[in-house]
Structure 1
Amino acid sequence: MKLKIAIACLLFFGTISAQHGANQVYQTQNSNNYRENSNYQNQNKINFGPDGASYKINVLNNVRPDSYIITLGLNQESLSVKECNSKINSRLEGFKNSLKKLGIKEEEMFVDFISQTKIYDYKSSSTTNQVNLTQIDKGFEIKKNIIVKLKNTKLYDKIIEEASEFEIHNIVKVDYIKANTEKIYEEMFAEANVILESKIKLHQKFGKKEYEEVPQVAVNFYSIQPGKQYKNYTAFESANIEYESNQYNGRKHLVRQEERKNTTYYYDGMTPDFFDKVLNPDSPEVNMQFIMELSISYKTKIPKETPKKEEEKVYHFITPNGDLRVLNLK
């Protein structure tokens, strides 16, 4: 009876969460993140039979990072390599000096040389019958990235503003960094062990069996960067217009200009529904997500058979006098 009530509650809460779709309902449901989440539906389960028992446990942990690595890209064009490099370095030095005023140290910045390429353009000349285009050398372009370590996210907007002062507008990516992952591993493994003990007790209600003391254990532990978990959608409703184009009967062509539709991007991490345990589930921050997949298999103990005693063999012989006697071979 208790099992039926629990299932009813789960279905009830699932219905409640489905009532609040928001504009994300405009998104198609075939994204990679959705497929990844659906893969967990068959993982947190118990299998047991005459040969043994296996348990699969999944734990999700939302962890605030210790620091962020921001990569910003810039480029510079000029007629010569020397002039090009001098101009881009001047912009970089100015930007680095402005970051130092915000409290960011020199060792927390790194300039990565990306590429140096030639630039070509076309020069045109015309005659009575044709236009000639000739490709010409236009100079050089150098691309570099500046990578910045940031501990205080409140400085992020200020960094972007300072970057724009030096015509640095390309924010390439943001990586989230967590230093002590060993502590996270231990915490999640402890939670998984508690869940395992609970599942074993549930299993024993269906018939207790003796298993080998040392099980086979497999642990898969990894993290997912938030940058890989953003989705997007474009939400709008538009009128339907039907038109015909026939230039031979004098009808006018219809030219339709569409308004720009904004695309919304939002963070959509791993769905907690498919995990046995979620740590820090109610944090509104965009954090790193650590996942632990634990598989444990126990083999059924095979009772040891008591070795049978070898039966003593008795030998008889007849003496020359005709007497029957027992032969002792000890």
Structure 2
Amino acid sequence: MKKLFYASFILFSQFIIGQVSGNVNYQNQYSPSNTIDIGFPTSEGIVASVKGLANVKADSYMAIFSITQTGKTTKEVNELLDQRINKSLEEIKLKKGVETFVDMISFVPVYEYEVEKKVFSRKTYNEVPVGFELKKNIHIKFTDPNQLNDFISILSNHEIYDLVRVDYFSNALENIKKEMMNKAKLLIQEKIKNYELLLGETFTNVEKRIADGFAVNLPVEMYKSYEAYNSSSLNLKKAANVNQASKSTTLYYQPVFNKEFDFIINPVVLEPVIQVQYEVKIFINREKEKKQAAKADKEFILITPNGNLKPINVNSPKQTY
């Protein structure tokens, strides 16, 4: 009894720990950082960098559903598919703020194998046409994300089940990008001033180079998958048959983490959002400033025919001697 109680306690403890960290850790599905990183030519100097992240809620969406129909004749296929689509769209268009579009995908013949029996030879399998297959996609644009459940319910009533993808759109991206550039400009200027104070130098007259760029991550690109299970290890003979149960695959939304950024716009993410990243880098070439300063410190002296020494200012206008 004591051994049985101990084993049960261990299993229960593992279950609690898994729920605290999330079942995704069963297979270590957290991927390496996928944040923006603008490259810069390598050289001696100082690089001032600022990274920003903005989480932008979508203001419109587009869902794509795929539909397939087969039939013996082209007329039959078209009539059956149009009937399913038209009845679905009649109900969907009753929803507020919804637009639809039907996209033609493919229309191909379908073949089967027909067995040809011969008395004195092997069976022959001949490919013969038996009908046609028609595929179309239904595009649905909407503004209320809660309507997607209604669309799925309507389409499933007409045997349309394949939700291909959902795209996210926002009209605020241009303004968000401008806001990010302004924030980054102030922060990078502050960083450069701090470098000047720490080094006791000024970078006003030194060579500078700049690079910047945006990266946009859409929700459809940010879903990960894993299988949460804990299988037993068995010491079996090679001849043993093992039937493994099918494991359920879980999909989850994994946004870009906000841990590597200098500023974040709308930091709290409740639902899948459009994530905009911005990075700006300024390269400060201190070595060129030192070389110019060393050149300016050099003193040139002219010996006149009379044997007199006269200093020459190489930076001054044309002189007479």
TM-fit CA distance, 1:118: 1.1
Distance (Å, rounded) in 2 between the aligned partners of 1:181 and 1:245: 60
Once the two structures are superposed, residues 278-313 of structure 1 have per-residue CA deviations (whole angstroms, 9 ceiling, x without a partner) of 222222111011010111223455459499999796
2:216 aligned partner: 223
2:246 matches 1:260: yes
User: Which amino acid in the other structure matches residue 173 of structure 1?
Assistant: R
TM-fit CA distance, 1:54: 2.1
Q: Please, what is the CA RMSD of the aligned residues?
A: 3.4
- Of 57, 69, 76, 1:76 maps to 69
Pair 98,287 (structure 1): closer, same or farther in 2 beyond 3 Å:
same
Once the two structures are superposed, residues 45-72 of structure 1 have per-residue CA deviations (whole angstroms, 9 ceiling, x without a partner) of 9x996xx532122111111011111111
Distance (Å, rounded) in 2 between the aligned partners of 1:23 and 1:309: 76
TM-fit CA distance, 1:258: 2.6
Distance (Å, rounded) in 1 between the aligned partners of 2:203 and 2:183: 22
- Aligned residue for 2:269, secondary structure, equals coil
Distance (Å, rounded) in 1 between the aligned partners of 2:50 and 2:43: 15
1:115 aligned partner: 106
TM-fit CA distance, 1:234: 1.1
Distance (Å, rounded) in 2 between the aligned partners of 1:48 and 1:115: 55
Most deviating of 204-213 and 172-181: 204-213
- Of 229, 233, 239, 2:226 maps to 233
TM-fit CA distance, 1:145: 0.5
Once the two structures are superposed, residues 142-179 of structure 1 have per-residue CA deviations (whole angstroms, 9 ceiling, x without a partner) of 11111111110011101111111121111111111112
2:266 aligned partner: 280
Distance (Å, rounded) in 1 between the aligned partners of 2:43 and 2:48: 9
Distance (Å, rounded) in 1 between the aligned partners of 2:220 and 2:27: 18
Distance (Å, rounded) in 1 between the aligned partners of 2:192 and 2:63: 46
Does the aligned pair in 2 maintain the 1:117–1:140 contact within 8 Å? yes
Report the number of matched residues: 282
TM-fit CA distance, 1:204: 2.3
2:139 aligned partner: 147
- Aligned residue for 2:34, secondary structure, equals helix
TM-fit CA distance, 1:268: 1.0
Does the aligned pair in 1 maintain the 2:109–2:133 contact within 8 Å? yes
Pair 156,165 (structure 1): closer, same or farther in 2 beyond 3 Å:
same
Q: If the length of structure 2 is used for normalisation, what is the TM-score?
A: 0.76
Most deviating of 201-210 and 140-149: 201-210
Does the aligned pair in 2 maintain the 1:115–1:142 contact within 8 Å? yes
Distance (Å, rounded) in 1 between the aligned partners of 2:168 and 2:54: 15
Distance (Å, rounded) in 2 between the aligned partners of 1:48 and 1:200: 18
- Aligned residue for 1:103, secondary structure, equals coil
- Aligned residue for 1:138, secondary structure, equals strand
Does the aligned pair in 1 maintain the 2:222–2:254 contact within 8 Å? yes
- Of 52, 76, 91, 1:98 maps to 91
Pair 44,231 (structure 1): closer, same or farther in 2 beyond 3 Å:
same
| Residue segments in structure 1 that go unaligned for 5+ positions in a row | 1-18, 247-253, 316-328
Equivalence map 1:1-330=2 (5 Å): 20-29=20-29, 33-34=31-32, 36-37=34-35, 52-105=45-98, 108-124=99-115, 131-212=123-204, 215-244=208-237, 254-300=240-286, 301=289, 302=292, 305=296
User: Which amino acid in the other structure matches residue 116 of structure 1?
Assistant: F
TM-fit CA distance, 1:263: 1.4
Does the aligned pair in 2 maintain the 1:70–1:174 contact within 8 Å? yes
Q: If the length of structure 1 is used for normalisation, what is the TM-score?
A: 0.74
Pair 306,232 (structure 1): closer, same or farther in 2 beyond 3 Å:
closer
TM-fit CA distance, 1:202: 2.6
TM-fit CA distance, 1:230: 1.1
Does the aligned pair in 2 maintain the 1:225–1:288 contact within 8 Å? yes
Does the aligned pair in 1 maintain the 2:196–2:202 contact within 8 Å? no
- Aligned residue for 1:257, secondary structure, equals coil
